[in-house]
Structure 1
Amino acid sequence: MLTGVKLGHLSGKPLTYSEVGATAGPMPAGYHHLRKSAVIGRGRRRFEEAAERGMRWGMLRGAGVRVEATTDVAEVGAEVLVHLGPVAAPCRVVYVVDEPDRRGFAYGTLPGHAESGEELFLVRYDPATEDVYAEVAAFSRHATWWSRAGSPVTSLAQRLIADRYLRAL
C-alpha cells in the first residue's frame, strides 16, 4: 500500500500508461473497462450545478473519498492524491471537457498507484429530454503485487466506488 505520499512530490513523474486520453473514445485492449452512467436530475440549471461541483472534485468527495489536489478546480496538469482509507492513489488530470452540454475531466495514474490507467468523470446534459447524467468511464489494470493478489476484491471495489461517484452529485 502507498501511504505517506506527498502531493508536492508528484510533479514531473510520468504517467504509468501510454494510452492517454483513451477514456474519450474507444478504450484500449489489455485493460479492464468500466462505463457507467445515471440520470441525476433534469434541466439546464441542474446541469450547471452538477458540472460546477464535478469540476471541484465533487464526484470523488461526494463518494466519501478524500482528495488533495494542486488546484481547486480540475485542470490539465493538476496533480491529485485520492485517499481511500490508508491508500493514497496519485493521479494527474490529463484532459478537461468543457462543452455547452458536457463538462468533466479525466485523470491518469502516476507511479505508486495500485492500478495503471485512466478515469473520466463527466456531467452531460441532453437538451432533447432535459435529463442530466453523471458518467464515469475507466480503463485499468493492476500495477502492484497486492492489487493483483486481491484482484476480485479490487475489481468489485472499483465498481462499487463508481456507483458512489454517480450518486455523489
Structure 2
Amino acid sequence: MTNVEWRWKSGWSDPELLARLGRATTLPLNFVGEEKGMTAENGWSVVESQAVIGVDKPGPPQGEDGFALLKHAVTELGFSDPRIVRGHFDSAMPLLGRPMLLELRPLRFLRYLCPVRVRAVRSEQDETHTAYGFSIDTLAGHVESGREWFLLSKDHRTGELRFHIRATWREGEFPNWWSAVGFEVMGRRYQRAWHHLAHLRLRELLAKGHLAAHPSGGTMRDTPLEVSRLPVQFHSQRGMSRALAQVEREVESERGQDWLTTVGFGVLAGMRSMSAPAVLAYQYSVEPKAVPGGWGERVPWKKTAAVLGVLAAGELVADKTPWVPARIAPPALLGRVVMGALTGAAVAAPGRKLSPTRAVVGATAAVVATVGFYTLRRFATRRLGVPNVVAGLIEDAAAAAMGGKLFASLR
C-alpha cells in the first residue's frame, strides 16, 4: 500500500496541509545512505545547476543588501516555480528540522504531495566568501528518494551572488503504475525546467526587491513573480532555456537512463531468449551493488547465473535441431517477450525498483528482434542456400557479441 498522496485538479486545503505537516515531523526517511556515498558510481542520479544571480558591493554582506534579500527568498523557497513545485510549510518553525510538503504539479490537473524535512543548515563566512543554505531529505511517501542542497554564496572580492542547487536522488514510491511511467518519460524535463526557472526567479526577485509571503495557514503560497510568459516546456530545453537562465554549470549524471541498453537486452532476448537473463544474472553475481532494489536483493545470483548459463547453452544447441518450433510461434514468442520485458525493466541503477517503462521498451524490442531475425534466418537458408546450422552459428556469434557489449555497458 503506497503512502504517496495524489489528487486530480484540486489541491489540499490549509487545514489538510497543516495536519499533514504535523505528521511529517515523525515520518522516517525513504532512503538509507551517507552523503559521501551518494554518488553516480553507487547508483544515485546527481543533478546540479549553478548561476550568478546578481552583483552586490564587494565585501561581506551588510544590512538589507542583495544577499540578505536572496537569503530570505532561499529560506522561503521563493526560487521554486509554483507551476512545477509549490512548497507548503510553517515559516514560524526553526529552519533546521522543519517539515515541508512539496506539491509536485507535473500537469495542470495532477498533484502529488511529497513530504521532506530540512536536515542541515549551512551558514559560514571567511575572508573571501559568505555562504548560506540548507539541505532537505525526502521522507516516506515521496516519489523520489534522496537529498537536495540549496546554497547561496557571495564572493567578497567581486560581489558576485551565486546560487547552487545539487540533488542526489533515486526513484521513490509511486501511487500507481502510470505515475511511474510518467516519471520516467517526463520527470527529467520538469526537473531541468525547475532548475532553469529557479535561477530566473531569484534574478527577477533581486531586481524587484521584495518577496511576498502569504500567512494563510502558516504556509507559503505562490510568489507573484512574472518571470517568463514562456511555458514550462520551453524551460526544459537544454540549449535556449539554459542560455536564458544564464546557467554557468549544469550537470545531469543520471544512472539507469541508458535506453540503448534496455533496447539491447530486448533485442538479445529476441535472438536467444535465455541469453538476456543469463548476461544480466552474471552481471549481478559479480557486482552485487548493481542489483535493483526490491526482490532482486534477495535472489542468490551466483546460483541463478549458473542455472541460466546452462539453459542458455542448451538453447544454442536446441536452436539447430529440426523439432524446435519456430520462434514466432505463440509460446516461443511469449517467452521472448517476457524475457525482454524482465531484463529491460531490470536495467536500472543499483537500489532502484523495476521500471515499467523499460519493461514495455524491452518487450517491444524483443518482438521486433524476434520477427526480424526469424525473417533473416529464413532468407539465408531458403533463398541463399545457407545451411541451417551455419546460419544458426552466425546468429549465435552475433548474440554473443551483443551480450558482451551489454555486459560491458553495465559495468
TM range (shorter): 0.7 to 0.9
Which residue in the other structure is 2:122 paired with?
Answer: 97
Give the drift of 1:54: 0.9
Which runs of structure 2 are paired with 1:57-136 in the superposition (5 Å)? 57-60=77-80, 63-64=81-82, 65-72=85-92, 75-85=95-105, 86-100=111-125, 101-136=130-165
Corresponding residue for residue 33 of structure 1: 46
Instruction: Read off the aligned partner of 1:87 and give its amino acid letter.
Output: Y
State the TM-score, normalizing by the size of structure 1: 0.85
Deviation at 1:152, TM superposition (A): 3.0
Q: CA deviation at 1:12?
A: 1.4
Query: CA offset at residue 123 of structure 1?
Result: 0.9
8 A contact 1:123–1:133 mirrored in 2: yes
> C-alpha distance in 1, partners of 2:137/2:153?
21
C-alpha separation between the residues in 2 aligned to 1:19 and 1:51? 29
Residue type matched to 1:153 in 2? Answer: M
Sequence identity (%): 27
Q: CA deviation at 1:161?
A: 0.9
Give the match's secondary structure for 1:9. Answer: helix
Q: Look up the SS of the partner of 1:87 in the other structure.
A: strand
In 1, Cα distance between equivalents of 2:98 and 2:104: 19
Structure 1: any 5+ residue segments left out of the alignment? none
- SS of 1:59's partner is coil
Counterpart among 167, 170, 176 of residue 141 in structure 1: 170
Q: Which whole-Å CA distance do the structure 1 matches of 2:93 and 2:121 have between them?
A: 11
Judge conservation of contact 1:37–1:134 (CA < 8 Å) in 2. yes
The number of residue pairs the alignment matches comes to 164
The alpha-carbon distance between structure 1 residues 102 and 67, as it changes in their structure 2 partners (threshold 3 A), is same
Look at both structures and tell me which one has the larger radius of gyration over its CA atoms.
2
Structure with more of its chain in helix, by fraction: 2
Q: How far apart are the structure 2 equivalents of 1:73 and 1:8?
A: 12
Q: 1:57 to 1:73 in 2, by over 3 A?
A: farther
CA distance in 1, matches of 2:69, 2:161: 10
How far apart are residue 26 of structure 1 and its match?
7.3
> Which residue of structure 2 lines up, in the alignment, with residue 2 of structure 1?
5
Aligned to 1:13: 27
Q: Which structure shows the higher strand fraction? A: 1
Q: CA deviation at 1:74?
A: 6.1
Q: CA deviation at 1:131?
A: 0.8
For 2:37 and 2:100, the matched residues in 1 are separated by 25
Give SS of 2:147's match. Answer: strand
1:72 to 1:158, Cα distance in 2 relative to 1, 3 A: farther
Residues 98-154 of structure 1, C-alpha deviation per residue, up to 9 Å, x if partnerless? Answer: 123111111010111100011111111112221101110001111135454231311
The whole-number CA distance in structure 2 between the counterparts of 1:166 and 1:53 is 12
Root mean square deviation of aligned Cα: 2.2
- Structure 2 unmatched ranges of 5 or more: 7-11, 106-110, 203-411
Give, in angstroms, the shift of residue 162 of structure 1: 1.6
- Structure with larger RCO (C-alpha < 8 A, sep 6+): 1
Q: Which amino acid aligns with 2:117?
A: R
